[in-house]
Structure 1
Amino acid sequence: MSQPLKVWSKFSVTKKDGSVLNLRIVDMPEDPEVKEKVMECFFEYFVKEECTYKASGVPESEESMEELRGACENMVSSQTPVFSVCCLDNGDDQINEVMGASLMMYMTREEAEKKSKFETKALQKFILMVEYLAEIYDDMRAFNLDPYLLDKWIVVRPEYRGLGIAQELLKVRRLISKEYGIPINGAWMTSYGTQKAAERDGWETVCELQYEDLEKKFNVTYGRHPPSTKFMIARIPL
């Protein structure tokens, strides 16, 4: 018999129509169908919307999307992923719909500093941009973190945005960091939604870059976005 899912949080939200949803955030189960739903959420609502992916052209390239899928599958199977999944709190362990999810990777500094290699031009551009951001601010070095929980993504399905789910996923990141004994959790917050959610949860901005400057450096267009991307941290009392 499988072990019950670890529940990190239970909370209620009120939709615009006045209906109330009882939700929970749990570890992702060893269920291929749930894993597929989480990855679908990532590719459909994060990769296609997140400004760095969009600016580098990844969503418009079928070859890049296919290569990214393979890289993600390899990453979560060969390393140590830390998934948190938001779903209905229906009194059992069933996850019928993934409303939002968070992924971090638990790794040593040496593992985190390994450079990713891709064949498609759009992903090569994306990695170039990501590595530049890591050079500008590296919380692993700033706080001497080893091991570390490396942010990969946080996403909420469009129909459930504006309900506080992203903020709750960030709160859970604090709890996970505490359980792993890691005093700092940090991430580049690239959208209004994640920036506001992090601010409401008390995260601090320790570095800020203007998108206009990044556009000039990499000869890309970010489109509709906040004026800057912010590296934000949560301090975890151990």
Structure 2
Amino acid sequence: MSSNQQHCRVWSRFERRKKDGSDLKFRIQNPPSSVQDSVNEFIVKYFLTEETFQKAAGISSNPEAVEEYRSILKEVIKSWTVVICCYDNDSEEVGDILGVSIVELAEGESFDSQLQLQMDENRKLFQIATECEKLVKPLMKDLKGYHSGRGIIVHPDCRCLGIATEFVKIRRQMINEQNVPMSCAWMTSYGSQKAAEKDNWETLFEITSEELGQKCGVVFKDPPDSFKFMFPRLLDDSSMSLSYGLKLSQAKSSWP
């Protein structure tokens, strides 16, 4: 078995019909080690150039900033949980990468504060991330070991096929299986917000793009009206869910 065919956990298989009537089969799985470089380049090619915060930071306009970003990504992604979407071609081989979803297990100090950044554009990106973290810190202070979203990226040719919605469903599945108390993420586009809403995610905190831009000294390009910090609504009555819901309700009531 080639390294590109190593057995990896498959989280979901699904079919979608394109506008031309053709049917496509997809699967979402853990990535084999052989495609890690391809995953990194997929993130650099699409997430770095198209995600709202990354665009505002201007990283893609500076080749040196892109290289610094790439080198940082190569290291930090080792500790993140990554799943990929590819065509389900009736074999275990991964062909083209069509989407990536990333979460980090947040257990303490954010990795952002530990980075030694040289390029102004990357510093600006992490300033935005730090500002967002500060906004929700009062709501998260009692939660330990939760999943923090680090990005959902879908290939331009495969957008509007529900892949992002499948990714957020799997984030819910992960916390249920792994006994993680929460999954949350800043949804920074209309697409990611709609995908989360389809899976019954709720908005815990919201800020207009204009206000966040003023706080960070940037102008966001084609942003949604607001950026939403979202989490999956809990659908069972387990003790963990009840405890989690109580903590969130207490946090909301204490927010100024």
TM-score (normalised: structure 1): 0.91
Aligned pairs for 1:102-117 within 5 A:
102-110=101-109, 114-117=113-116
Asked whether 1:88 is paired with 2:87, we answer yes
Q: Secondary structure at the match of 2:71?
A: helix
Residue 173 (structure 2) pairs with residue 175 (structure 1): yes
Matches within 5 A, 1:1-238: 4-31=7-34, 34-77=35-78, 80-110=79-109, 114-138=113-137, 141-142=140-141, 144-235=142-233
- Give the distance between the partners of 2:112 and 2:192, measured in 1 at CA: 25
Return the letter of the residue paired with 2:121: A
Secondary structure of 2:33's counterpart equals coil
2-structure distance, mates of 1:217, 1:14: 42
CA 1:138–1:49: 2 relative to 1, 3 Å? same
**SS of residue matched to 1:99:** strand
SS of 2:203's partner is strand
Q: Contact 1:22–1:88 at 8 Å: present in 2 too?
A: yes
Separation in 2 of the partners of 1:138 and 1:180?
A: 23
Q: Whole-Å Cα distance in 1 between the matches of residues 109 and 38 of structure 2?
A: 31
Contact map agreement 1:140 1:146 (CA 8 A) in 2: no
Q: Which runs of 5+ in 2 are unaligned?
A: 241-256
Find the aligned partners of 1:86 and 1:190 in 2 and give their Cα distance: 20
In structure 1, distance between residues paired with 2:186 and 2:134:
12
Q: Distance in 1 between matches of 2:19 and 2:138?
A: 38
Q: Which amino acid in the other structure matches residue 68 of structure 2?
A: E
What SS class does the counterpart of residue 138 from structure 1 fall into? helix
8 Å CA contact retained: 1:145, 1:182: no
Deviations 1:3-58 (A, max 9, x none): 52111111111111111111110011121xx2222222211111101111111111
Structure 1 segments of 4+ aligned residues over 6 angstroms from their partners:
none
Mapped partners of 1:197, 1:166: distance in 2: 6
Q: Distance in 2 between matches of 1:148 and 1:109?
A: 10
Q: CA deviation at 1:218?
A: 2.7
Does the aligned pair in 2 maintain the 1:109–1:148 contact within 8 Å? Answer: no
TM-score by length of structure 2 reads: 0.85
Distance 1:111 1:228, change over 3 A: closer
Q: Secondary structure at the match of 1:18?
A: coil
Q: How many Å separate the matches in 1 of 2:219 and 2:213?
A: 6
d(CA) in 1 for partners of 2:222, 2:100: 23
Aligned-residue offset at 1:107: 4.6
Q: Distance in 2 between matches of 1:111 and 1:209?
A: 21
**Residues 111/219 of structure 1: CA separation in 2 closer, same or farther (3 Å cut):** closer
Report the Cα distance in structure 2 between the residues aligned to 1:16 and 1:125, rounded to whole angstroms: 39
- Tell me by how many angstroms 1:219 deviates: 2.7
Percent identical: 35
Distance 1:28-1:134 versus aligned 2 partners, 3 A rule: same
Which structure 1 segments of 5+ residues have no match? none
The amino acid that maps onto 2:94 is: I
| 1:110-137 deviation digits (Å, cap 9, x = unpaired) | 4657443311111111111110100001
